[in-house]
Amino acid sequence: MDSSSSSAANTVNMARSIILNTYFVILILGVIGNCLNILVFTRLKIFRGNRWAFYLTFAAIVDIGYIIVLFASNFLQTINTKDPQTYTLVWCRIRSILFQTLTLTSFFTICFAACDQFFSTSYRLNMRQICTFRMAQCFTFGNICIWFLHSIIYGVYLQIQGSLGCIITNPIMSSYSSSFFYSVLYGPLPLVIAVFFSLLAFRNVRRIVRRQVPIERRQLDQQMTAMILIRVCFFVVFALPYSIYKIYTIITPIPSATPFQSAIKQLLQVLFTLWTGINFTCAFYIFVASSPAYRRQLRHLLVKRYWRRWRATNKNRITPENRAPTASEIEFE
């Protein structure tokens, strides 16, 4: 039995080392991708004052924070050979507060983007006038404040209980966690909202041809609706499995787990967390792969603006360049 437990522990430790390397890849790709999203949505004129771009920019900032915390958490777990949250109460609570705040903020920011897209593309004028940029800023501020306060209240009830590690011991909060938090708030609710409103927005865009809308606005609506719809689809793919796993572990608890079962449970937890972590990394790469317009905008920003400007500053030019900007450059500047 001891040799079996030792073998299981060695296997889990080896798997954790491999997973840590994967987390490092996610960290690099996620930071680069989200930073490029922020650049595109904040530096191009076409997106200035755009509420959808504002939501996606804020989501990119939150996603960077999430993947940094995710990597730091698993790095500490690997170098200590034991998860610090199983014996350090302060880290147990801080980790929970950070993860919950960033995760729920990111999830509901995607929901707000989908809802805003639905109202903005509606054929009814009164519905299009409901959402404003000021309202988007208020929703974003309220979003992060609500989930931060919620996470603090949740984290206060976390305690370290022997082999069980960092868990909630209060019966009321434990019931809330199992019956509402993981089964509704942490996955199904934002998923349903995001899917529902993104599909309605897609339907609105298909009808937009019938309205007398400037072609530039129509193209931007179509681009952003398609990007948000595809983002929501991948949101479901990467967020739903972890929610199902958490609901399953709550419904079917193991009363007296062996060391091997505990090791497997921890490994599954890490794997599902890793899969969910991809959700916070993939937005930029989804947009590049699915949207020709986004690729053009990115190329313009990186090549025609930054790269050419950098080359120009490194040349000793005698006379200034008086080249007239092209139509596409005027559009993006």
Structural domains for the chain: 2-290 (1.20.1070.10), 295-333 (no CATH)
- Contact assessment for residue 47 and residue 94, using Cβ atoms and an 8 Å cutoff: no
Rounded to the nearest 5 percent, the helix, strand and coil shares of the chain are 80, 0, 15
pLDDT the model gives residue 160: 84
Give yes or no for a contact between 122 and 114, defined as CB atoms under 8 angstroms apart: no
Position 196 pLDDT exceeds 80 = yes
pLDDT digits (tens, 9 = 90+) for 116-147: 999 988 888 788 888 889 999 999 999 999 99
Mean local confidence (pLDDT), 274-291: 92
Integer Cα distance of 150 and 302 in angstroms: 40
Q: How many CA atoms lie within 13 A of 138 on its CB side?
A: 5
Nearest Cα neighbor of 273 from 90, 95, 141 is 95
What is the distance between the alpha carbons of residues 257 and 259, in angstroms, rounded to a whole number? Answer: 7
Residue 324, pLDDT > 90, answer no
pTM for the full predicted model: 0.85
Asked if the model's pLDDT at residue 207 lies above 80, the reply is no
Residue 254: CB partners within 8 Å, gap ≥ 6?
A: 261, 265
DSSP for residue 323: P
